[in-house]
Amino acid sequence: MTDVQVCETPAECKRSCKAHRSQVNTCLMSKVLKIFLLIGVLSVFPKAPWPQGTECVARYNFKGTSEHDLPFKKGDVLTIIVVTKDPNWYKAKNAAGCEGTIPVNYVQKREGVRSGGKLSLMPWFHGKITRDRAEHLLHPPETGLFLVRESTNFPGDYTLCVSCEGKVEHYRIIYHNGKLTIDEEMFFDNLMQLVEHYTKDADGLCTRLIKPKLEEGTVAAQDEFSRSGWSMNMKDLKLQQVIGKGEFGDVMAGDYRGTKVAVKCIKNDATAQAFIAEASVMTKLRHDNLVQLLGVIVEENSSLYIVTEYMAKGCLVDYLRSRGRTVLGGDALLHFALDVCEAMAYLEANNFIHRDLAARNVLVSDDNVAKVSDFGLTKEVSSSQDTAKLPVKWTAPEALREKNFSTKSDVWSYGILLWEIYSFGRVPYPRIPLKEVVPRVEKGYKMDCPDGCPEVVYNIMKQCWNLDPAARPSFQMLKEWIQHIIQGRPRKH
């Protein structure tokens, strides 16, 4: 039986009760903390074993507890190579090829970015809505709730709408000499920089920006890339020389934690949405003949980067032109054709349409492997087709005429790419004016066989250029045909 303490004075009793309550509260807090820690650990345990080849990202630093462990730092990308009997540990390898065991509760499985909502770097931007609509969206009042809309009174300008102490204030954002400003004292390159500034400091506004009012159906891109394990830290990236200019801006060589990488840098707000659309597609694709996404960086100053594997020998069209038939023999050309076909068969099997397949969008690695890149126009088969600017000489007639894209329109483009390979990088439809290409093709015109191209390969090109999409071969079929040619066997029709 425990002793019961008897308090002789009211003050002593009060002190004793207070101490007892404090002890009970501390005990309860300790139990709650343990429960939360347990939940946190359990939440990262996979419900089913992660299969071999699964990529994961380190959530914390891990020094290792034995010589069999693989140490890593937060942000490192690791690949599962063996599923162990203990569900809390995996054998994995890092980017340098070192292997060892890793604790599952220290890493996060990489996933494809969800496409359920519209990814946006500016989810608070509502486009062309009225002042009344903006005030309705910012109801009920909540100080610091904000959105940005296009100005109705001053076309080309914007309006920042902020809820403050029960009212909505509307601040005109003036576009002047390529910069944006509210007070004509602070100037910003884009809306993202402006919003970022006023979230840190009111700086003359009625309140600092606290909570964005998201446009219906949008998902904040930064949050989604982080959730799915694709965010990278700019502190770990060293930018080097410019190696090309692409759809979204400059492409630079770089170094990420000792690994040579290529970095696509966005130009401005106008291309931001296309940038994240490309990056989100790349998170879902994994194949040896596709240029691999390594991660995405969204900086506070609104600088945006797609980090991919580095392809030392540049784009295929330049590679072909600079070497020519004196350097590249038939075997090399066939293997380039097969590499691209392998990638496209993978996209076909996973219901993706590239829509911009051409030798300029194929890169060559240091060990002469061709990999398909530039997913700026790539769509899932179920996605709606827009009227993006299309490369006429590479695009199938039905896609140009009716915006009817399919795997079979990619097959048409593959036939053009084959012609590029065997003509060593010549521009398709030589000596035919651009405006005459489509009418002539729709009447059945096909390019001649390139000099030195085997008849069997030219026959494949012609089958890719069948005006009836249904009559064109699949990429799986094309892959088998090219494999038969490489192996010296006649292909099966």
Sort strands 218-220 and 118-120 into parallel, antiparallel or unpaired: parallel
- Per-residue CA distances from 372 to 187, 248, 287, 369, 437 (Å): 40, 17, 10, 10, 25
Write the single-letter amino acid at 426. Answer: R
**Three-state secondary-structure class, residue 439:** helix
Whole-angstrom distance, CA of residue 472 vs CA of residue 478: 10
State the pairing for strand pair 107-109/55-58.
antiparallel
Beta strands in 221-303 (DSSP E): 237-246, 249-256, 259-265, 293-298
Contact (CB, 8 A) for 299 and 234: yes
Q: What H or E segment, with its residue span, contains residue 438?
A: helix 434-442
**Beta carbons within 8 Å of 51's beta carbon, 6+ residues apart:** 80, 83
Closest CA to 194 of 249, 126, 125: 125
Q: Which two tokens stand for residue 398?
A: 């039905």
Annotated active-site positions, please? 356
264 marked as binding residue: yes
Q: Give the 3-state secondary structure of residue 321.
A: helix
Separation CA 126–CA 15 (nearest Å): 59
DSSP 67: T
- In the annotated binding site for ATP, the residues are 264
